[in-house]
A and B are shown apart, each in its own frame.
Chain A
Amino acid sequence: MIKLLLILLLSIVSSASDIQIEKKIYETFFAALSKKVKPSVYIDVHIPSLELDTDKFSLVSSCQKADIVIVTKKTIDAGCEKKIIFGTRYRHLKKVYVLGAFFWQKGRPNIVFKRQQLDSKKIKLPHALQEFIE
């Protein structure tokens, strides 16, 4: 019985798809960046992992209404630059208003949080994410 339960759990963890795990990673970020139980998130293009059902965040249709903005393009509306803005490419980190990014580079996923932006927004990351602060 015990063995069966263990096998079942391991199967569930090991069989998660890449977009399910990606969603879980984003949920970890959102929980760390927002004090709300269910923050509102804006995405400027189709991102499959963030469109899966979840009770950890909700998608909104404009960046003005969002607590957290996920950027995939070069620019965002000027009125949203003071939000918590998270990038999906390395180059997004060069924008002053971007707080961090989760992106693929050199064949591996990378996570970066910018200390200056965290400090200015008075966000203290949990211990598990502090190794990604630059």
Chain B
Amino acid sequence: MFKIVLILLTLLSLQADDINSLIQDYVKASELSNKTKNENAGNLIVYTRDDLERMQALTLKDLLKSLRYFSYSESRRAQSDLLNFDSYSNNSKGIRLYLNNHELSSPLHGSGFIYFGDMELEFIDHVEIYTGFPSFEFGVEPATVVIRLYTKDATHDEGGKVKLMGSDNSSSVLSTYYTDSFEDFNYFAYLGDYSNNRDAYDYKGGTLGRDQHRTRFYGSLANENHSVELHAVQSKNDAFMGTFENAQVKENDLEYSCISVSTHSKFLDDSLTFDFSYVNIDSVYDQNFNLPDLNITDLTANNKVKEEGLTLRLQKKWNLSDNEVTVGLQYRYKYFDITERTFNDKPLDGFTQAYDSENIFSLYLQDLYSINENNILSLSLMNQFYQRNGDVNAPNNLQLRLGYNYTVEKFSAKTTLSAQSFAAEPYTLISAGQSNVNLKSESYYSFAQELTFKSYNTINNFIFTYANLQDYPIPGRQDPNGTNIKPRNSEKSLDIITSSYEFTYYYSQKDKFEFNLNYSSSDSVYNNDPAQLVSSLLRSLNTFGKLDVLNELWVVVPAYGGDSSFDYTLGLKYRTTKDFSAQIKAVNVFDNGEKRTYIDGSTRIDTSIYDRKLWIGMEYLF
């Protein structure tokens, strides 16, 4: 019997040594190499380059659709919002989005998720998503979810790529990149044009549109220790329902342009890092509408917003025997101006914003203590000092995080306790009529437990989190009579429970099956019934010779009742040569995908988050 085993072992080892098998293993291992991922930093999800390519992920929205217990959503202005409890406002201030080492931030809204939550992924190599109140080492301010996008570069991508895609409703993607390296430096340049025509809805005799069009440039220049990046976006989209209730929308346009410059430098064997980033965002929001219930017609509103931000970050790590100590000093300057606004072409002279700039000084300390090779304790402290140049609440927030990781070959347990406070973002303090200068920080006290069991071809993952939320800021709004209701901190303490079971089965090197089952329960400030949500993902990624196949089913049983949704997506990608491939992706095939419900006055409007769409396209590498 042992002879048979030995023969089998020999055959297997010979196969592993075959050069083509080695190359395949090498590609796989390079994708999963822990160059960037940090298991101590949170409950981690990684989308490798191979995942992104075989899933034909066009934008970040394609990944966030099936994120455990959160789900991509949008506000009344059709802007990205992951934690969308209330569609009037942007609730994603705890979602921190990073492009390489730099946060894509919005000085006015805090998180840049509102602008970049469904950004194109063609220039992205891989994506890491950290949930469960991740480590403080990521940012100036605390986070509930950290999304890190890593761009392609010349190290692996010397050469270029052109991608063309079109859809059945005239949506299109046209993008190209080129990267090369020289003796001491390398560069990467990407240019993309994304046009997404989406389902529109008839409402009160008007049309609620959500079409998007974006042009994006990203460029980087790097040597071994230093890099500089330029990221520029020009975007125009229909702003769906807009901000006025019971309106008959004639036209709703939201345009923004964003430019950011950032640098990253490493010194002292990479133990000391320095980051700089500057961002400038200009946006214009134009509304033209009637209020049929009040017999008022042809109203116009125009708002211009200017935002400017500067971030400096210095971080030093020391490896001291069993301790890895990290100290970080961070500074962020934010400027924002929302005073340039007109109503029926007349300036709103009476409006002054409570303040227009702030400084945030942030200091954090983290110690990773290895008790032994299987047990790691992590302790993190962070403090933010806010300076705001007006008579508004300027908090001084202390953040605490305690983690314990137990890891053996096939099992790991990750436990995290944290206490975090999120300062009210400027727009909730200064918005016209719908702001409250005394808005306090909201606080989360959380516990997260993750258990992972691995075998050679399966991963079983259980995650449970409990969070208690204090002082939740109930968004401001305008009631149907035009009266402004200020945002206020809820006096009710809210409990949020989430749990997930995730199963991955690798039945060959290029074939995997994933199954997730998620449950969440969140107390509401509006009623006594918690919002209970159940969702499930079944995804199969297969490769048959030159053909990649994606089968994905995303099922959601919505909070507060309503019909369950079944979003089935099929993707086929055929590589005719190493450099040329043709692809088809059918999204929400049965047009029964997840819905977003908007309440407008007393009317309920259900809209698709993912429209049924058929994409056809090609890619050429040169």
Using a CB–CB cutoff of 8 Å, the interface residues on chain A facing chain B are 2, 5-7, 9-11, 13-14, 16-22, 24-25, 28, 73-74, 89-90, 103-109, 111, 128-129
**Cross-chain contact A28 with B27 (CB below 8 angstroms):** no
* B interface secondary structure, majority: helix
- Judged by a CB distance under 8 angstroms, whether B183 is at the interface is yes
Within 8 A of A (CB), among B7-26: 8-9, 12-13, 16-19, 22-23, 25-26
**Cross-chain contact A128 with B579 (CB below 8 angstroms):** no
Q: How many residues from B make CB contacts under 8 Å with A?
A: 37
Q: Return chain B residues, CB-CB under 8 Å to A111.
A: 19, 23
Task: With A105-B158, A106-B158 as known contacts, state yes or no: A21 contacts B1, CB within 8 Å.
Answer: no
Task: With A104-B157, A107-B49 as known contacts, state yes or no: A11 contacts B456, CB within 8 Å.
Answer: yes
Contact partner, B29, options A18, A108, A128, Cβ 8 Å: A18
Nearest chain A CB to B613's CB is how many angstroms away? 26
**Cross-chain contact A108 with B27 (CB below 8 angstroms):** yes
Interface string of B152-184 (1 = CB under 8 A from A): 100111110100000000000000000001010
**Cross-chain contact A105 with B157 (CB below 8 angstroms):** yes
* A interface secondary structure, majority: helix
Q: Return chain B residues, CB-CB under 8 Å to A105.
A: 157-159
**Cross-chain contact B1 with A2 (CB below 8 angstroms):** yes
Q: Return chain B residues, CB-CB under 8 Å to A17.
A: 29, 33
A-B contact pairs, 6 of them (CB 8 A): A6-B9, A11-B409, A11-B456, A14-B25, A109-B27, A109-B30
Nearest chain B CB to A29's CB is how many angstroms away? 9
With most chain B CB atoms within 10 A of its CB, the pick from A20, A73, A105 is A105
Contact partner, A106, options B22, B157, B409, Cβ 8 Å: B157
With A106-B158, A109-B27 known, 8 other A-B pairs at CB within 8 A are A9-B9, A10-B456, A13-B25, A20-B29, A22-B26, A106-B157, A107-B157, A109-B23
Task: With A17-B29, A18-B33, A129-B19 as known contacts, state yes or no: A104 contacts B158, CB within 8 Å.
Answer: yes
**Cross-chain contact A107 with B156 (CB below 8 angstroms):** yes
- Judged by a CB distance under 8 angstroms, whether B538 is at the interface is no
Contact partner, B158, options A7, A24, A89, Cβ 8 Å: A89
- Judged by a CB distance under 8 angstroms, whether B455 is at the interface is yes
A128 — nearest CB in chain B belongs to which residue? B19
Q: Return chain A residues, CB-CB under 8 Å to B29.
A: 16-18, 20-21
Q: Return chain B residues, CB-CB under 8 Å to A109.
A: 23, 26-27, 30
A75 — nearest CB in chain B belongs to which residue? B183
Q: Complex Cα distance A111/B409, Å?
A: 34
Interface string of B483-519 (1 = CB under 8 A from A): 0000000000000000000000000000000000000
Contact partner, B22, options A2, A25, A90, A103, Cβ 8 Å: A25
B23 — nearest CB in chain A belongs to which residue? A109
- Judged by a CB distance under 8 angstroms, whether B5 is at the interface is yes
**Cross-chain contact A104 with B456 (CB below 8 angstroms):** no
Q: Return chain B residues, CB-CB under 8 Å to A90.
A: 158
**Cross-chain contact A9 with B23 (CB below 8 angstroms):** no
- Judged by a CB distance under 8 angstroms, whether B346 is at the interface is no
**Cross-chain contact A89 with B22 (CB below 8 angstroms):** no
- Judged by a CB distance under 8 angstroms, whether B191 is at the interface is no
Nearest chain B CB to A14's CB is how many angstroms away? 6
B125 — nearest CB in chain A belongs to which residue? A107
Task: With A2-B5, A16-B25, A74-B183 as known contacts, state yes or no: A7 contacts B157, CB within 8 Å.
Answer: no
The 5 closest A-B pairs by CB, nearest first: A18-B29, A104-B156, A18-B30, A106-B621, A10-B456
**Cross-chain contact B23 with A106 (CB below 8 angstroms):** no
Task: With A6-B8, A128-B18 as known contacts, state yes or no: A21 contacts B26, CB within 8 Å.
Answer: yes
- Judged by a CB distance under 8 angstroms, whether B604 is at the interface is no
Q: Return chain A residues, CB-CB under 8 Å to B621.
A: 106-107
Q: Return chain A residues, CB-CB under 8 Å to B578.
A: 106, 108
Nearest chain B CB to A49's CB is how many angstroms away? 10
Nearest chain B CB to A103's CB is how many angstroms away? 8
B409 — nearest CB in chain A belongs to which residue? A11
Q: Complex Cα distance A16/B332, Å?
A: 41
Interface string of B558-581 (1 = CB under 8 A from A): 000000000000000000001100
Q: Return chain B residues, CB-CB under 8 Å to A6.
A: 5, 8-9, 12
Q: Return chain A residues, CB-CB under 8 Å to B26.
A: 18, 21-22, 25, 109
Q: Return chain A residues, CB-CB under 8 Å to B25.
A: 13-14, 16, 21
**Cross-chain contact A24 with B456 (CB below 8 angstroms):** no
Within 8 A of A (CB), among B410-450: none
**Cross-chain contact A13 with B156 (CB below 8 angstroms):** no
Q: Return chain B residues, CB-CB under 8 Å to A24.
A: 17, 22
Q: Return chain A residues, CB-CB under 8 Å to B159.
A: 105-106
B579 — nearest CB in chain A belongs to which residue? A106
Q: Return chain B residues, CB-CB under 8 Å to A22.
A: 26
Q: Return chain A residues, CB-CB under 8 Å to B409.
A: 11
Nearest chain A CB to B17's CB is how many angstroms away? 7
Q: Complex Cα distance A104/B18, Å?
A: 19
Nearest chain B CB to A65's CB is how many angstroms away? 24
Q: Return chain B residues, CB-CB under 8 Å to A18.
A: 26, 29-30, 32-33
Q: Complex Cα distance A111/B159, Å?
A: 16
Q: Complex Cα distance A11/B156, Å?
A: 27
**Cross-chain contact A10 with B12 (CB below 8 angstroms):** yes
Q: Return chain B residues, CB-CB under 8 Å to A9.
A: 9, 12-13
A28 — nearest CB in chain B belongs to which residue? B19
Q: Complex Cα distance A74/B183, Å?
A: 6
Q: Return chain B residues, CB-CB under 8 Å to A128.
A: 18-19
Q: Complex Cα distance A10/B5, Å?
A: 13
Nearest chain B CB to A41's CB is how many angstroms away? 18
Q: Return chain A residues, CB-CB under 8 Å to B13.
A: 9, 13
**Cross-chain contact B161 with A7 (CB below 8 angstroms):** no
Nearest chain A CB to B94's CB is how many angstroms away? 33
Q: Complex Cα distance A16/B23, Å?
A: 12
Q: Return chain A residues, CB-CB under 8 Å to B8.
A: 6
**Cross-chain contact B5 with A7 (CB below 8 angstroms):** no
Q: Complex Cα distance A21/B19, Å?
A: 10
B161 — nearest CB in chain A belongs to which residue? A106
**Cross-chain contact A14 with B456 (CB below 8 angstroms):** yes
With most chain A CB atoms within 10 A of its CB, the pick from B12, B13, B25, B621 is B25
B183 — nearest CB in chain A belongs to which residue? A74
Nearest chain A CB to B557's CB is how many angstroms away? 36
